[in-house]
Amino acid sequence: MSESAPTNEASVTKSAGSGAPAVAGASVAGLEFLRQYAGRFLVFEGPDGSGKSTQFRRLGQALSALNIAHATVREPGGTVTGEAIRTVLLDKANTSMTTRAEMMLYMASRAELVERVIFPALRRGELVMADRFVASTLAYQGAAGGLPSADIAAVARVATRGLMPDLHLLFDLDADAAAKRLSPLLDRMEAKGREFHMKVRQGYLEQAKQDPRRFALIDASREPDAVWSQVVRTLRERAESLPSKLQLS
């Protein structure tokens, strides 16, 4: 799971823009509706190779151009402790790690990220964008790894203090197509094989089926510009029906 946000540490962006600046070759005119996501938690999910991180960066660029305050974080990582955990998790030398230990390490990184970065940003009224969150653990260590989803959910409640994303953008792509997009220098999670990654995809799709209010499916098989258009359309449509904001203490 090495597809990630562009920086090792969480970042907060408050860049000013003017007129209708260009973002990745396209205008951000018509994206003012994104201001409705202030104080919201948006998560990009999907299998390795789905291209979600490309769209993650593109949305971040649009928010900066529109001068919309936001924080971008990646998992695992985003804090000093989280980055150290990330190194352990993705190191191909750690082949003997059990799935349960793997899950607990992801949750430890997540707990640090929520406490130190995500909650403070939400309290400031910023849009928080995460490249992966609990849905990844349910798909990778749960559906594909064999851990009961109830066990994962129980640990997640402690690690995240009950925080749930307002919306998951799930970038869906079949395992064979995703594999063709990956670098030949695979990390430990990417190298788990076709059958594992097929189960990951099904785990994601099952989550989306069970919670359609908080998941939106994005067809990641298309060209990046077409995927971006669907991302924008989806965000515009969902902006009016977001769940009630979590009351943060």
The full set of domain ranges for the chain reads 30-241
Residue with tokens 């079949």: 174
In DSSP terms, which residues pair with 22 in a beta bridge? 27
Q: Residue 131 CB: number of other CB atoms within 10 A?
A: 24
What the block records as the tokens of 138 is 């349910």
Higher-pLDDT residue of 192 and 42 is 42
Q: Which of 44, 49, 72, 52 is nearest to 60 (CA)?
A: 72
pLDDT above 70 for 2 = no
pLDDT of residue 180: 80
pLDDT by residue (tens digit) across 51-97?
Answer: 999 999 999 999 999 999 999 999 999 999 999 999 999 898 988 99
Least confident of 72-86, 168-182, 200-214: 168-182
Average pLDDT score over residue span 103-119:
98
Q: What are phi and psi of 248, to 5 degrees?
A: -95, 135
Q: What angle do CA 188, 130, 237 make, to 5 degrees?
A: 125
Higher-pLDDT residue of 242 and 192 is 242
Average pLDDT over the chain, rounded to an integer? 88
Distance from C-alpha of 72 to C-alpha of 124, rounded to nearest angstrom: 14
The CATH topology of domain 30-241 is Rossmann fold (3.40.50)
What the block records as the tokens of 173 is 């792509």
Answer whether 0.85 is exceeded by the pTM. Answer: yes
